[in-house]
Amino acid sequence: MFGPRVDREAFWRAQRWIGIRLAMLYQWHSGAEGWGDEWLVWEYLRHGLGKERLAESARELIDRIEPLPGTRRDSIRFGGGSLLERCYIIVSNYEVAEGIHRAMLERSGDEWKALRARRLGRSHLEAIPAENDAYVSLLQGFLRAGIGESEPALEEFRQAADRLPTHPSPLYAIGNQLLSMGDDAGGEAALRHALAVRKSYRGIGILPVEDEIFYYLRIAMACVRQERYGQAVEILREAVAERLPMRPEQGAALYRCLGLCHKSLGDRRRSAFCLAESDRLEREAATNLRSSPMSSSRPSDRLPKDISPDVSASGR
C-alpha cells in the first residue's frame, strides 16, 4: 500500500492530528445537527476505547504483509477485501479516535469523562473485550489462510466464533475455510448457521459484517459442489423472495448461478431466463462502473471468483 520511503509512524501521527482537528471542528459547529460531543464520543467508543491490542495486532500484520511481493500481498484477504487494507483502516481509525480523546480530555476533562460514561452502557462495555479478541483472531486467521496454513486458520476462526457467538462474520469465515479445505458438507452447515445468525444480527460494534446476499451465494456454491443443484436453486430463490438489497454485480452472480443450476437440472426455459437476467445485470454493473468508478471500488463489492460454478448440462 505504501512505498518504502513512506514513514508509517509519521502517517499514524497525522491520523491522530486529524482526530484532534476533528474535535476542534465539531466543537466550533456544536450547534449544527449531528455535530458536537455526542458524535465525538461515539467515534471514540467505536474505534478507540479498549482497542490498544487490536491496533497493535494490526500494526504487526502490516509489518509482516507489506514487504511481500505485490501479487502475494494482494492474495491475502480479509473477507472480500485486502487484509493489509483492513489493518490500515483499524490503525487509522484508532489513531483518529485517540486524537479525539486527547483533545477532549484537554478541553473538557471531567465533562468529557462523564459524557463518555453516560453514552457507554454496561452491556456495551462488557462486549468490547470479546469483540476485540474476536477481531484479532479473525485477522490472524485470514493471515494464516492467506499463507496456506489451513488448519491454524480454521482454529483462529473458531476461537473468534467462541468469543463472539452472536456475530455472523466468524461463522461465515469458518464456512468459507471449510469449503476451501474441501469439506463441502461442513462448510454448508457452518454457512447455514452463519446465515441464521446474520438474519438476527443487530450489532453496533466495529467488526465488519458481510452483505446478507453473500451468505446465500456461498451456501448455494456449497450445494453445487455436492451436486445438489435443486437445493442450490431453493436457497437462491429464497434470497430473491427475501428481496435483499443487492448491487447489480451481486444480482448477476445470483442469476448466473441459478441459470447454471436450472440447466444442470434440465430446465432450459428457466435457465435461459436466469442467464439473460444475469447478462442484463452485468451490463448494468459495467455501466455503473464507467459512470462512477469509485462507487464499485470497495472490497465488499467484489464477489468471490468461484461463486459462479461451472455447472455442465449433464443433468446431475
pLDDT of residue 124: 61
Residue 135 pLDDT > 90: yes
Domain-embedded: residue 86: yes
How confident is residue 293, by pLDDT bands cut at 50, 70 and 90? very low
How far is 313 from 73, CA to CA, in rounded Å? 38
Domain-embedded: residue 291: no
Residue 187 pLDDT > 70: yes
pLDDT of residue 29: 61
Across the range 119-131, mean pLDDT stands at: 69
Please give the mean pLDDT across all residues of the chain: 84
- Write the single-letter amino acid at 135: Y
Across the range 191-217, mean pLDDT stands at: 88
Do residues 187 and 178 touch, judged by C-beta distance below 8 A? yes
How far is 104 from 113, CA to CA, in rounded Å? 9
Residue 126 pLDDT > 70: no
How confident is residue 314, by pLDDT bands cut at 50, 70 and 90? very low
Domain-embedded: residue 231: no
How confident is residue 297, by pLDDT bands cut at 50, 70 and 90? very low
- Write the single-letter amino acid at 43: E
Domain-embedded: residue 137: no
**How is residue 72 written as a grid cell?**
502475494
pLDDT of residue 4: 52
Q: Element (H or E) spanning 82, and its range? A: strand 81-82
Domain-embedded: residue 103: yes
pLDDT of residue 219: 96
Q: Supply the range of the domain harboring residue 109.
A: 1-120
Residue-wise pLDDT for 242-271, tens only, equals 888 889 999 999 999 999 999 999 999 999
CB atoms within 10 A of CB 26: 21
Q: Pick the residue with more confidence: 1 or 241?
A: 241
Number of domains in the chain: 1
Q: Pick the residue with more confidence: 98 or 128?
A: 98
Most confident of 32-41, 77-86, 261-270: 261-270
Domain-embedded: residue 220: no
How far is 270 from 3, CA to CA, in rounded Å? 51
pLDDT of residue 27: 67
Give residue for cell 450547534: 31
- Contacts of residues 173-180 at CB distance under 8 Å and 24 or more positions apart, as own/partner, are 173/79, 173/138, 173/141, 173/142, 175/218, 175/222, 176/218, 176/304, 177/141, 177/145, 177/150, 177/153, 178/154, 179/218, 179/221, 179/222, 179/225, 180/145, 180/150
Across the range 88-105, mean pLDDT stands at: 92
Domain-embedded: residue 78: yes
Domain-embedded: residue 95: yes
Across the range 155-168, mean pLDDT stands at: 95
